[in-house]
Structure 1
């Protein structure tokens, strides 16, 4: 399946406000590549998150809560479905959408993950695989934040090998009224938003043709249970769940009509994998900003530690990694708008950028010393959250194998 979600300049812009100031971490001024309307939107999103989220982010993380009361504000800012012509506030580019993920992540990666699941995975599944009727029913209410979506692919025994190993089954049968319906059985794990979503996109293997298909499971549903996963030490604000599907009935009208196998699902994953790369940049930026502020304020041997050569080296290495990561993300996003992006392009961005993110947050944690393990000093939360971002949407190893297959022509998956 080929999909072009948006053309960057098709349609009118909204009134343009003041552009956001350039981030100090944007060393090569990539934000200037955005249009005036995009920069004005970034300014609004940044101001909202600085005002409404940053003051509470550490406490929310410690309590493993998400600021669900802010969902109407997210929707008003146009953060849901911004790639989709049916619901977006204004014409925008993939670089802009990536920059939004960066801006959210530099303040609260858990919020960015919520948006990515709802807008990127759930809404894009409907946009890619839904019928005109399904798009009309779901996309606008989801864009307004009135209905929340989740995405159920990963299983307790299958993560990296989901394409081949998916065990959740879908069996088609005739209902009592003569209509077609499906019976879903199986289990899912690590499903974000699932404890409070209004619709969960469940991916299951058709017992008749062995092909993966997508289903819109409306909540509540008989036979469907979602149990919050506790004791997490990363992205604690994300409400991940274990799901059990025990004879869940889904009408044929709620099967995603344009999905005819895992290859179609891969289109959705490619779009969101790029977004996770941008999220990783935001995590690195958040840690870097906190470490830089600390280095300027922390006094040792009678002077700020920012004046010491080894501290400046850590900061310089970090800004270099962030700059290289932004450059890669900008280009892979441009390729999406140009309809040139392939799975291996987004896979390389996700692998490289998350690896650099991990190095940056570790360096910044080290720079802050013993205080770096305490939430109050800004780095610890990003240090912990980086581990989840490094892993989801394809592990580093799996994404490098996707790239390896592209450059050698040989699949090393076993």
Structure 2
């Protein structure tokens, strides 16, 4: 009896150590996201007085950058080209400002912290629940692929930012390499009004602009990667559910006596149902408490894309403006496509689960287990990424709808300019 207790204790200790190891492995894949959120002051486990000052400073820099662009209308005569050029810079800045500012408000900050903590804790619990090596390999594969894609996208973003900085300072560089009789004209990309001599304080203006761009990029990456981590984790859970269903009822098990076979089926199906319920719950948490925020971001994002599409048609001979606006358009389309692609992958994984149940040996299971499988088939066929009461669906079809809306608004503005 004593030896039996010791064996059980050793087994539970090994299981606990294995859970901690899986937990540590999972944390390793999400370090980039944690660093970005800490930089923004949005990490839920680091809500000190300093982090609030941090967020306030970032939001202030972005808001002042938008304000100095709008102040141009005070000192400059209004025209359509000027309006579009200012809005093509102001709307992207407004997009990332809304992301930080809304989350920084007291009510949404509490919701954000609570929900992010809840989702992070569920992710850790999900990693601990996995005891099968193949299941651990599945979730690690998804986490690794997302980590690799994140690093690649950040490298591409840094490279593009470096090229834009070089383009910004190109007149100064050319004055050193290929000097002329007079200095080349030099100004910031965005049209701004500071009510002081901009030529004299051009480096302060550029510092303000570069800081605003840097904060915007960090905010865009930080919140975007967080959403994609949650989406990919939901996909991994659905994939593990499909794996459990496919291995729950095997032909070799049909030779087992009926009572033992039914107990085995029941045990495996219950484990699959558990993971499936957690996957559905996790997918619903992604959008359940931020519907209003996402609605505002969609409106601002589509408007920004439409304005930049119109702006690119009005650029005549300015290579710098063409590069900037083209970059903005690519960022808009890439952001919308990747987020909607993630939603589509969740839906596709739900359909894969449906097919795994349908093609399995469900008819060999007892009646009460068949009812569980029928319930899972129905839930697997439901789109788990619908938001705004089903008015908008995060999918490739949703991406096509957003793009179509942006192009439609662009055509209307272009025809009435």
TM-score when scaled to structure 1? 0.28
Higher relative contact order (CA 8 A, sep 6+): 2
Q: Which is strand-richer, 1 or 2?
A: 1
Q: Which is helix-richer, 1 or 2?
A: 2
Larger radius of gyration: 2
